[in-house]
């Protein structure tokens, strides 16, 4: 019996490159679109925030709590993207002088992750500019990234995979269909 082979197949890299080229997006043009945070609206859908289940809060308090949760959500995803980019860049080393198609696919993935970091920084700033003072996000992105990156590559890649799946499914089920969000 032979041990399983774990070499990464390069046949999927060209498809990743093609999709990356076809689905380019711009933070200002495709996401922000000249909008500002609307503090008369929630920042997260009820399916995520669960503020609609807090009967002891009035509507204004629920909206504010949703806004605080939305700001925290942006901060959390912003710092998660940091270790994702670092790990994928580390993995590109295997391809620097080898499979250039794999290298391009991984670099394009990193480009998207860096764009996500910028998006979450900008969204957080947009929210911060109109919210009451006193909010502090306590986690330090570099400390969290360092702790995650100390784990095995397999463990980090499994976490990245889970985060990517969660993000896509979460968007499809909760954010995309909700119209009354800022």
> From residue 80, how far is each of 31, 150, 182 by CA, in Å?
20, 15, 22
> From residue 118, how far is each of 11, 78, 177 by CA, in Å?
30, 8, 24
Listed in sequence order, the residues at least 6 apart from 160 whose beta carbon sits closer than 8 Å to its beta carbon are 84, 87, 88
Higher pLDDT, 90 or 1: 90
Q: Does pLDDT of 36 surpass 80?
A: yes
Category of 33 on φ-ψ map: left (φ > 0), alpha (ψ -120 to 50) or beta: left
Angstrom distance (rounded) from CA 161 to CA 72: 22
Residues in the chain: 182
Residue 4 pLDDT: 46
Angstrom distance (rounded) from CA 124 to CA 117: 11
Angstrom distance (rounded) from CA 175 to CA 181: 8
Angstrom distance (rounded) from CA 117 to CA 25: 14
Residue 168 pLDDT: 80
User: Whose CA is closest to 156, among 84, 77, 82, 78?
Assistant: 84
Angstrom distance (rounded) from CA 103 to CA 107: 6
The pLDDT tens digits for 103-131 are 999 999 999 999 999 999 999 999 999 99
Per-residue confidence band for 3, with pLDDT thresholds at 50, 70 and 90: very low
Domain layout of the chain by residue ranges: 42-84+117-175
Task: Give the Cβ contact number of residue 111 at 10 Å.
Answer: 13
For CA atoms 122, 87, 171, 75, the dihedral sign is negative
């Amino acid at each position: 019996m032979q041990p399983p082979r774990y070499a990464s197949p390069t046949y999927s890299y060209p498809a990743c490159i093609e999709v990356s080229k076809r689905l380019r997006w711009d933070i200002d043009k495709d996401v922000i679109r000249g909008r500002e945070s609307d503090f008369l609206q929630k920042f997260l859908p009820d399916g995520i925030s669960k503020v609609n289940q807090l009967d002891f809060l009035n509507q204004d308090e629920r909206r504010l709590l949703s806004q605080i949760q939305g700001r925290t959500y942006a901060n959390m995803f912003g710092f998660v993207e940091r270790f994702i980019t670092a790990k994928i860049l580390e993995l590109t080393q295997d391809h620097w002088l080898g499979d250039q198609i794999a290298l391009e696919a991984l670099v394009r993935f990193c480009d998207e992750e860096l764009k996500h970091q910028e998006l979450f920084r900008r969204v957080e700033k947009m929210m911060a500019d109109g919210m009451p003072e006193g909010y502090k996000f306590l986690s330090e992105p570099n400390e969290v990234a360092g702790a995650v990156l100390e784990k095995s590559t397999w463990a980090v890649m499994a976490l990245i995979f889970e985060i990517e799946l969660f993000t896509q499914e979460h968007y499809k089920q909760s954010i995309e269909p909700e119209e009354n969000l800022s």
